[in-house]
Amino acid sequence: MSPDPIDPRRVARDPRRRLLDNLAQHDQLLGRLDGPVVGPGRQPKVDEDGAVPPGKGVAGDLPPWRTTLDDPPPGWQPGGPAAALRDRFGGLLKDADRDRMWFPHLLIRAAAGDRGQRPVWPSTPSWLSPDIWLFRSADVPPGGPIDLSRAVVSPTVGETYTVGVHIWNLGRFPAHGVRVSVWWVEPGFFSGTPDPRYTPNPIGGAWAELGDRESGRAHGIVLIPTTWTIQNTGLLHQCLLATVECATDPWGGVLDANHDRHVGQRNLSLLGPSDDATPLLGMLGERLDAKVRLRIGAAKAGPGSLKGATTRHLASGKESGGWPVKTGKARTLATVVRGPTGLVVTVGKEEATVDSLAGAVRLALGAPELTGKGLIASKALAGMGTAAVHLSTPENGYTLLVRP
C-alpha cells in the first residue's frame, strides 16, 4: 500500500453513525456483544501469513457484526441508557475491548496471528515482528508493486535499503491520518526504557489511510520514502523499531514492543556458514545487565509462507527468500547470570563460569566453534538445518538465525 497524504477535508459524520455508536457502546457495557454469545470464544480463521481473509473479521468470539443501519429497538432513545452507562462505567473500558467497539484498533504484529494482546513475551518473542520489512532500494520500483519474496534479513554495510511496515486496523472504524515511523537502534536488549547504551535513531516516516476491518483495506505495507544507508559505525548490527498511530488510536510514546501493540521490533542477525558470531556476542554481553538472568534457547527455523501475498500479487514465490522467518517452539538450553568472577552458566544441573557471552553460548550449544558452520554442527542444533538461537531476558531478546 502506498502511503497517502492526510486528507485536509473534514470527514462528514453520518447522523445515523452516532445512533449506531451509541447502540454498540450500550450493548458492550451491558455485556451484550451484538447478540447472545454461546460457549467459549473461538479463534479467528487466518491464512498461512497470519492475515485475516477479507470479509472474515478478526474477533472470532463475536457473532457477525452489525453492519447495517437498522432501526433502533422500540422505545430506545439516542444518548439515553448508553450515556448513563458511559458516565458510570466508561472508565472501566479496557484497550482489549477496542476491537469490539467503533474505534480504530491499530497493530504491528509480534507474530503471525497476533491480534494485539500484550504482553506476548515470554510465550512468544516480541522482537521478531514479521511486519517490519527490509528491501534493497534497487529492488523497489518507484511507484510500482513490491515483490515481498525479495526482502532481506540482515543489512550490509554500504548498501541502501527501503524499510516497509505492514500495518493493520482490526477495529470497526477506519483509521484516518495514520502515521508510521521507523528507527534503528544499537544491538542489545532494548525494551523502550531510556538507557544511555541505546539511542533510537530516526530513519523516516510516512502517512497512510486504513479502512475498517470489513472494508478490504484494513491492512497494507507502507514503504518509508526516506532510504536507509548502512554506515560503517563499528556496530555489528542495527535493530529496527516501527510505530503506528492515529489521532483516535495514539501510540503511548515508549518503544516497547512487548507491551504496546503500536510498536514492532526486529532484533535478529543472520549467520552464514563462514560468519563468526564472537564479535556480536561480545557486544551483546557488554549490554547484559548485572542482575538480569539471560536464557539461551534454540528452535528449528525456516522460511515463512508468502502464499497469501502471492494470491494478492505481492510476491513471486510462495516461500520467502529471506524474510519473514518462521520459528518453532524454543527449547531452553541454559541460563546465564553475571557473577563476581564472570558469567555463571547453568546447563541442566551443572554450573560453570565463563568470561564472556560467547563462551556461554558455545558451552550451552556444545559447539566446536562459533561460526555458522560450527553452530549448525553443535550438539543442540544438529539435524535442524536452519536454526534460531534465542538470547532472551525477562523483557526482551535477540535472535541469531543460523543457516547452513
State mean pLDDT over 357-366.
95
**Do 304 and 391 belong together in one domain?**
yes
CA dihedral for 51, 54, 56, 58, sign (positive or negative): positive
3 falls within a domain: no
Given 215, 248, 266, which residue is the final one in a domain? Answer: 266
- Kindly indicate the confidence band of residue 317, based on its pLDDT and cuts at 50, 70 and 90: low
Q: Label residue 87 exposed, middle or buried (CB < 10 Å: 0-12, 13-18, 19+).
A: exposed
Same domain, yes or no, for 212 and 333? no
Q: Within a domain: residue 67?
A: yes
Tell me if 75 is assigned to some domain. yes
How many structural domains does the chain have? 3
pLDDT top residue among 144 and 219: 219
One domain for residues 61 and 123: no
* Cβ neighbours of residue 223 closer than 8 Å, sequence gap 6 or more: 2, 3, 140, 146, 162, 163, 164, 206
- Note whether residue 1 is domain-resident: no
**Total length of the chain:** 404
Q: What is the pLDDT of residues 99-138, one digit of tens each?
A: 567 889 999 999 988 999 999 998 899 999 999 999 999 9
Give the count of beta carbons closer than 10 Å to the beta carbon of residue 338: 17
How much is the pLDDT for 299? 95
Residue finishing a domain among 235, 266, 297:
266
Q: Does residue 91 sit in helix, strand or coil?
A: helix
Which H helix or E strand runs over 81? helix 81-89
pLDDT at 16: 45
pLDDT of residue 361: 96
Of the pLDDT bands very low, low, confident and very high (cuts 50, 70, 90), residue 320 is low
Give per-residue pLDDT as tens, 131-172: 999 999 998 888 767 888 889 888 888 899 999 999 999 999
More confident residue, 15 or 187: 187
Q: Give yes or no: residues 221 and 328 share one domain.
A: no
Query: For all residues of the chain together, what is the average pLDDT?
Result: 78
The parent domain of residue 298 ranges over 268-404
For residues 226 and 184, give the distance between their C-alpha atoms in angstroms, rounded to a whole number: 13
Within a domain: residue 217? yes
Q: Please name the amino acid found at residue 154.
A: S
292 Cβ contact partners less than 8 Å away, ≥ 6 residues apart: 189, 337, 338, 393, 394
Check pLDDT > 70 for residue 279: yes
Per-residue pLDDT tens over the stretch 43-82? 444 444 444 444 333 333 322 332 333 344 455 444 444 4
Task: Indicate if 255 and 173 belong to the same structural domain.
Answer: yes
Same domain, 286 and 372: yes
What pLDDT, on the 0 to 100 scale, is given for residue 75? 52
Beta bridge partners of 183: 202, 241
Which amino acid, one-letter code, is at 144? G
Please give the Cα distance from 30 to 14 (Å, whole number): 25
The span from the CA of 397 to the CA of 209, in Å, is 32
7 within some domain: no
Say which CATH number the domain at 212 has.
2.60.40.10
Average pLDDT of 80-90? 44
Same structural domain, 70 and 190: no
What is the C-alpha separation between 150 and 159, in angstroms, rounded?
A: 15
Both 68 and 179 in a single domain? Answer: no
What is the model's pLDDT at position 306? 78
**Same domain? 21 vs 40:** yes
Q: What is the dihedral of CA 380, 383, 384, 388, to 10 degrees?
A: 30
Residues 294 and 354 in one domain: yes
Same domain, 120 and 240: yes
Q: Dihedral sign, CA of 25, 178, 10, 4?
A: negative
Last residue of some domain: 45, 71, 94?
94
CA distance 271 to 236: 12
Q: Is 256 in the same domain as 277?
A: no
* pLDDT band, very low/low/confident/very high, at 302 (cuts 50, 70, 90): confident
Task: Please give the residue that has the higher pLDDT: either 102 or 380.
Answer: 380
Continuous H helices in 126-260: none
Query: Does residue 196 sit within a domain?
Result: yes
Percent over 70 (pLDDT), the chain: 72
Q: Mean per-residue pLDDT for 253-258?
A: 94
State the maximum Cα–Cα separation within the chain, in Å, rounded to a whole number.
Answer: 78
Of the candidates 177, 178, 167, the one whose C-alpha atom is nearest the C-alpha of residue 218 is 167
